[in-house]
Amino acid sequence: MTRELRSLYIHIPFCRNKCAYCDFTSFKIKNKEEVSRYIDYVIRELEFYRGENLRTLYIGGGNPSVVQPTDCDRLLRHISELFCTDSLVEFTVESNPETLTRSLIKLWSAHGVNRISLGVQTFDNDVLKKVGRQTRNLDILTAVDLLKEERIDNLNLDLILGIAATDIYRADLKKAVALKPTHLAVYILGLSGKTPLSQMVARGEFSELTSEEYEKLFGFTAYMLSQEGFRRYEISNYAQKGYESHHNLNYWMGGEYIGVGLAAVSAIGSKRTWNTRSLVNYYKKLDRGFKPTASSEYISGKKRLYERVMLMLRTATGISLEELRGITSEDKLPKLNSFILMLQEQELAEHSENLLILTTAGLFRSSLIISELWSFIDKSDTIKS
């Protein structure tokens, strides 16, 4: 019997420096020995999933390019030995530009890596320095040149909308397009109360954009990239035709995935699990022969519906109106129909009799729209898990 195709994500939590805006599970590297030890344990965790049939593979962080070539080679060899990769269509590795080298690209390519995601964020050296990034403009240009020379033609660039003033962001977007990537991920800056950047905002050392400025730049991004041949296929992701991320699409379409490493998440069947965020606990659990999970949940039928509405409305595909009406309480159908009509009249959704697809203005307000749609979902026990 053929095993279902799944996606595998491996988290590398190490960076040369922790950026001021980052609230991910990542930390500044102390020495190469601690990274080597971590790779040892990641390989142990991968053993739990031996024989899985993979469709996509993604190594992210943190910054995976800080892993020493010998440790990287060891990890990649184990992956090829442990998993079936005959159906692998996409293998992505993230990297910060300043740590990307020709030898590393060659090593990744030799192991089947066919897509690179570069953490650019902004091209402005003053902003990069202010938020604690070690990347500089020249590093970005050098990294892209190296990738082109090594014939890596599937390239994503990450940008952050809101990390810099309006004029700088507009220039960043133009510079990114000029480098001819196949994919652009443009994330809106999220401020967490625990990050140094949030504290800088509180002290008046960093100016956050207004909601109006965010919305204008959100619209500018969609318009400019569409003129350059990029199609937005998810709220923050744009791709040239045929270069949409298969790995990310699997998440948004509700596919199954395996997460390995610190704080990684897995969703297999009706169960979702979260790995521990503590490096000490991660090692202890694996030393005892257990998976390093910290918590889990059962994805009930209703929870799956809520998530499907949220995920599909973030995509260019949208969600079927028939499906929406099918999961709505009968007494709330008139309110749902009125809400959809209002979205269309206010140009927050496209005019369609079959699908609910949010426009750029609708996507900017998607959290509010999704929350309202959730309120219509049938809460009775008739929806089976």
pLDDT at 381 over 50: no
The pLDDT tens digits of the residues spanning 111-128 come to: 999 999 999 999 999 999
For tokens 């699990």, what's the residue? 273
pLDDT at 1 over 80: no
The pairing of beta strand 14-15 with beta strand 27-28: parallel
Q: How far is CA 348 from CA 143, 219, 315, 341, in A?
A: 39, 12, 14, 10
380 pLDDT tier (thresholds 50, 70, 90): low
- The pTM of this model reads 0.94
Give the phi and the psi of residue 184 in degrees, each rounded to 5: -130, 130
Q: What is the model's pLDDT at position 288?
A: 97
Query: Are residues 168 and 213 in contact, defined by beta-carbon separation less than 8 angstroms?
Result: no
Q: How far is CA 304 from CA 28, 39, 312, in A?
A: 36, 33, 12
Mean pLDDT over the full length of the chain = 94
What secondary structure letter does DSSP report for 256?
Answer: -
CATH number of this structure's domain 5-252, picked from the four choices 3.40.50.800, 3.40.50.2000, 3.20.20.70, 2.60.40.10: 3.20.20.70
User: Six-digit token pair at 154?
Assistant: 């599937």
Residue ranges of E strands in 13-81: 14-15, 27-28, 53-61
User: Six-digit token pair at 368?
Assistant: 């509010």
Q: What is the model's pLDDT at position 323?
A: 92
Query: Are residues 278 and 284 in contact, defined by beta-carbon separation less than 8 angstroms?
Result: no
The pLDDT tens digits of the residues spanning 210-246 come to: 999 999 999 999 999 999 999 999 999 999 999 999 9
pLDDT at 2 over 60: no
Q: What is the model's pLDDT at position 383?
A: 40
pLDDT at 311 over 60: yes
Q: What is the mean pLDDT of residues 139-161?
A: 97
Collapsed DSSP state (helix, strand, coil) of residue 120: strand
3 pLDDT tier (thresholds 50, 70, 90): low
User: Which range has the top average pLDDT, 192-201, 259-268, 294-303?
Assistant: 259-268
Q: How far is CA 56 from CA 47, 117, 210, 224, in A?
A: 18, 14, 38, 30
CA angle 195, 198, 202 (to 5 degrees): 140
Query: Are residues 329 and 379 in contact, defined by beta-carbon separation less than 8 angstroms?
Result: yes
5 pLDDT tier (thresholds 50, 70, 90): confident
**Other C-beta atoms lying within 10 Å of the C-beta of residue 87:** 11
Q: What is the model's pLDDT at position 229?
A: 97
Q: What is the model's pLDDT at position 4?
A: 80
> What is the C-alpha to C-alpha distance for residues 373 and 204, in angstroms, rounded to an integer?
37
Q: What is the mean pLDDT of residues 97-105?
A: 97
Query: Are residues 16 and 63 in contact, defined by beta-carbon separation less than 8 angstroms?
Result: yes
Q: What is the model's pLDDT at position 127?
A: 96
More confident residue, 328 or 175: 175
Q: E strand or H helix at 155, and its extent?
A: strand 155-161
pLDDT at 385 over 70: no
Residue extents of the structural domains in the chain: 5-252, 301-374
191 pLDDT tier (thresholds 50, 70, 90): confident
> What is the C-alpha to C-alpha distance for residues 14 and 16, in angstroms, rounded to an integer?
7
Query: Are residues 13 and 263 in contact, defined by beta-carbon separation less than 8 angstroms?
Result: yes
Chain mean position to CA 71: 25
Q: How far is CA 323 from CA 76, 142, 244, 317, in A?
A: 42, 48, 25, 13
The pLDDT tens digits of the residues spanning 15-71 come to: 999 999 998 899 999 999 999 999 999 999 999 999 999 999 999 999 999 999 999
pLDDT at 315 over 90: yes
Nearest to 32 by CA among 92, 99, 82: 99
Q: What is the model's pLDDT at position 194?
A: 82
